Structure 1
Amino acid sequence: MSDECRVCLLGLIFLSSLLTGVSGVDDAHVFISSGENVHLPCNNALHDCTSTTWNYNRFRDSAAVELIGLGIKKKDTESHERLSLGSDCSLNIKAISTEDYGSYICRQYLNDKQQGTDSRVYLHVLHVSSSQTEISAGLSVTLFCQLYSYTGVSCDDLIRSERIQLFWVNQAGVKLTRSDSRYQILSSSDPCIITLNTTLLNEDDNREWRCEVTQRDQVKTSVTYCFGLCFGRGLE
């Protein structure tokens, strides 16, 4: 092979890696709001879930935790009470928290030998919090919206590869922008965090603001925060 062909081949391999992104071709991304229940698919399941094992890790360098072993739920995990195995070998988790984000791997074993390849699911959890616990007209309030994610890379790489965006909308569904004099939309050094700052008015009683996350221009999940009569429930 000529030197020019080698250079062309290396260029195509590099371009392919950029287009593929940070995760594998068959990897799934699931977005969920904190407090909700989630269903994680197992795309390599065999006919019998007694061959299914689910492993989890939150960080790239952390040791994997076995949640389900050969169809049996492990009792020594923190999330034990919230886990269940679906009839299709999917992993169901109740009342998702910001501690549940991470990488979930479904594997199949027969006679102690792994069958096929891993089925990996990246779970991303959207959460909103407020700088104030008590509210009144004239009070400045900051709402923090964060997407908790793990793909083994930085949030910057995740956002670029999966075309993920975070933004705030009002209760009419209109996207809030930095040009709106009533609101300050602030991005932090972490692109997976976006904040909304505003001074509350009397007419804001029972008003809602919503943080949405999109992937490839499609809304994946959202969290609504409201003040006034609905302040007791806060997040929806």
Structure 2
Amino acid sequence: MSDNNHLCLLGLIFLSSLLTGVSGVDDVHVFISSGEDVHLPCNNALQDCKSTTWIYNNRFRHSEAVELINLGEKNKDIERHERLSLGSDCSLNIRNISTEDYGSYICQQWTGEGGEQLRPDAGVYLHVLHVSSSHTEISAGLSVTLFCQLNSYPRVSCDDWIRSERIDLFWVNQAGVKSDSRYQISSSSDHCIISLNKTLLNEDHNREWRCEVTQRDQVKTSVTYTVKSSGEKTSHQSVLESHNVSIIKDC
């Protein structure tokens, strides 16, 4: 089968999986914080990863699917190929996750020359949590907004998606309190984003705020933001809770 025909067939099967769902293999949802390394499982893998192909799609950034791995070999023509690797279990490993990496990943198993698909598609949805600030340098008396955004796929109304999947996105301080009278928290229905607005006091130096994502009351991932006064860089720390697994499956 020619390369063009092979890619066309991949695209048709990929589109079919988006419209009808994956047959025989559960979809997996992975939550990760930006800057972390992620491991995307391939739940239809064979013993020999030479049959494995990984396809990526984000319909808001790409008009067509992008082939990351073709029959066990990495595609070196894509921008992020240096951050990709194939695990011994045919999983897809991505280093230093960015907000551009969120989207749908499909693991497929193909014969080499015949072009026959050996097993049903295995889908993985990657959701990326990212924190940013309205100011790069901050000091007492300054009004600062911290933004926490969950980049998710498929991109439907955030309210609908959060409600149906029982997702919660919120800010807590270092004592675990969600808010107090001095802090104002607002959210957006168009995007999965929650902002924390505060006027800084002297005692806010080195104060930590943590944005968390939970699914069915279990923490999936979180990002800690440490307030530093002018002259010191503000620090961010991504945290994956060790007692929770950042993967959920749709039945």
How big is the alpha-carbon RMSD for the aligned residues of Structure 1 and Structure 2?
1.9
Tell me the TM-score normalized by structure 1: 0.85
Instruction: Structure 2: give runs of 5+ residues left out of the alignment.
Output: 1-19, 238-251
- State the alpha-carbon separation in 1 of the partners of residues 199 and 21 from structure 2: 41
- Shift, 1:153, TM fit: 3.4
Stretches of 4+ moved more than 6 A in 1?
none
Over 3 Å counting, the alpha-carbon distance change for 1:163 and 1:227 in structure 2 is same
Q: Which residue in the other structure is 2:48 paired with?
A: 48
- Shift, 1:189, TM fit: 3.0
The percentage of aligned residue pairs carrying the same residue is: 75
User: Could you list the per-position Cα deviations for residues 168-211 of structure 1 after superposition, in whole angstroms to 9, with x for gaps in the alignment?
Assistant: 010122222xxx21100001232511000011111111111010
Amino acid across the alignment from 2:133: S
- Which piece of structure 1 moves more, 23-32 or 117-126? 23-32
User: Could you list the per-position Cα deviations for residues 30-83 of structure 1 after superposition, in whole angstroms to 9, with x for gaps in the alignment?
Assistant: 000000000000000011000000000112783100000000000011110100
- State the alpha-carbon separation in 1 of the partners of residues 69 and 142 from structure 2: 48
Q: Which residue in the other structure is 1:134 paired with?
A: 137
Q: Which residue in the other structure is 1:235 paired with?
A: 236
- State the alpha-carbon separation in 2 of the partners of residues 109 and 35 from structure 1: 32
- Shift, 1:88, TM fit: 0.3
Helix, strand or coil at the partner of 1:75:
coil
Over 3 Å counting, the alpha-carbon distance change for 1:80 and 1:156 in structure 2 is same
Q: Which residue in the other structure is 1:95 paired with?
A: 96
Tell me the TM-score normalized by structure 2: 0.80
Amino acid across the alignment from 1:189: S
Instruction: Structure 1: give runs of 5+ residues left out of the alignment.
Output: 1-21
- State the alpha-carbon separation in 2 of the partners of residues 147 and 206 from structure 1: 25
Q: Which residue in the other structure is 1:197 paired with?
A: 197
Q: Which residue in the other structure is 2:183 paired with?
A: 183
Aligned residues: 212
Q: Which residue in the other structure is 2:78 paired with?
A: 77
Q: Which residue in the other structure is 2:116 paired with?
A: 113
User: Could you list the per-position Cα deviations for residues 5-26 of structure 1 after superposition, in whole angstroms to 9, with x for gaps in the alignment?
Assistant: xxxxxxxxxxxxxxxxx96671
- Shift, 1:154, TM fit: 3.3
